Amino acid sequence: MHEHGYFQLDSIFSRSSMRHMRLTVESVRAAGWPAVFAMAYEEFWTILRTPPVARLLEGVLGTGYQMLPHMWCHYVTPSAGAHGWLPHVDGFHKTRVSLWIPFSDATLDNGCIYLVPQSRMPDQFGRAFLRRKRYSHQEASAILQNMRALPAGAGSVLGWNFGVVHWGTVASNAREPRVSAAYEFIAPGVKAEPVELPLLNISERIPSFDERLQMIGRALIAYSKFEPRMARYEKLAAELCG
């Protein structure tokens, strides 16, 4: 994590529990709702309180880490051309970490995560990525050659600091969808930005049902730039946010 800006751990959660959560997401979608509404269920929060995840976050961020009120549930259909989010960074601060948990196997065929390790690119590459409009042929070649694919089995955990450029690739005709959830955390003693408030002490309690719905509303608004179809829920999202 310190050298490359990311980590990948296998088999943190059982495949049976991940299958249950995947089926929950698929049931929510079958009922006509965006996948992120599955995160109204407690299971999507209690997994963050398990000892392996808590030890992992303490090791990366320090004792007393807190959760940012940002999360999302991803569902990439197993069809040619489907894809996850375009290349981006989660922010500017390396004192924040994103956690990504696949509920189904994330493979080269269904759009697994790709990223550019921070050790392979110039310092501040991630920050500049948000501002740059053009890259030279030499720069583009370096980015392509240095990127890394991260296939991940259901129940594993991936994470990266906010400065790491990452994305979900385009799927082919895969056997199953790529279903996952993403969460964000901040190191203790670090001042949060206004858009990062309120902070959550996930080790003490999970968000209440009302808080979960409010976070879902905020997520629908914040991430419609990545998923334009979420714009149809703008009015509902505003109501959920209060």
Longest pairwise C-alpha distance within the chain: 50
Residues 6+ apart with CB under 8 A from 123: none
pLDDT on residue 111: 96
Is the pLDDT at 124 greater than 90? The verdict is: no
Is the pLDDT at 210 greater than 90? The verdict is: yes
| Among the listed residues 198, 5, 155, 175, the one whose alpha carbon sits nearest the alpha carbon of residue 107 | 175
| 28 contacts 180 by C-beta, under 8 angstroms | no
CATH fold, domain 6-207, is: Jelly Rolls (2.60.120)
| Among the listed residues 131, 183, 174, 122, the one whose alpha carbon sits nearest the alpha carbon of residue 151 | 174
Query: For residue 77, how many C-alpha atoms fall within 13 Å in the half-sphere facing its CB?
Result: 6
The mean pLDDT value for 9-26 works out to: 96
pTM: predicted TM-score of the whole model, two decimal places: 0.96
| 102 contacts 154 by C-beta, under 8 angstroms | yes
Phi, psi of 186 (to 5 degrees): -130, 145
What is the spatial distance between Cα 201 and Cα 48, in angstroms, rounded to a whole number? Answer: 11
Percent of the chain's residues with pLDDT above 70: 100
pLDDT on residue 97: 98
Q: What is the pLDDT of residues 22-76, one digit of tens each?
A: 999 999 999 999 999 999 999 999 999 999 999 999 999 999 999 999 999 999 9
pLDDT on residue 17: 97
The amino acid that residue 149 corresponds to is A
Is the pLDDT at 242 greater than 90? The verdict is: no
Q: Are strands 178-186 and 66-76 parallel, antiparallel or unpaired?
A: antiparallel
Q: Mapping DSSP to helix (H, G, I), strand (E, B) and coil, where does residue 148 land?
A: strand
What is the spatial distance between Cα 86 and Cα 34, in angstroms, rounded to a whole number? Answer: 19
What is the spatial distance between Cα 27 and Cα 30, in angstroms, rounded to a whole number? Answer: 5
Which residue in the block uniquely carries the two structure tokens 């608004």?
221
pLDDT on residue 92: 84
pLDDT on residue 122: 87
DSSP 8-state class, residue 22: H
Q: What is the pLDDT of residues 144-194, one digit of tens each?
A: 999 999 999 999 999 999 999 999 999 998 999 999 999 999 999 999 999
| Among the listed residues 102, 86, 78, 106, the one whose alpha carbon sits nearest the alpha carbon of residue 172 | 78
What are the boundaries of each domain within the chain?
Answer: 6-207
Q: Mapping DSSP to helix (H, G, I), strand (E, B) and coil, where does residue 179 land?
A: strand
Percent of the chain's residues with pLDDT above 90: 93
Within its chain, how far is the Cα of 23 from the centroid? 19
Of 108-112, 127-131, 138-142, 198-202, the range with the lowest mean pLDDT is 127-131
pLDDT on residue 123: 83
**Paired tokens of 34:** 């965006």
The mean pLDDT value for 109-117 works out to: 97
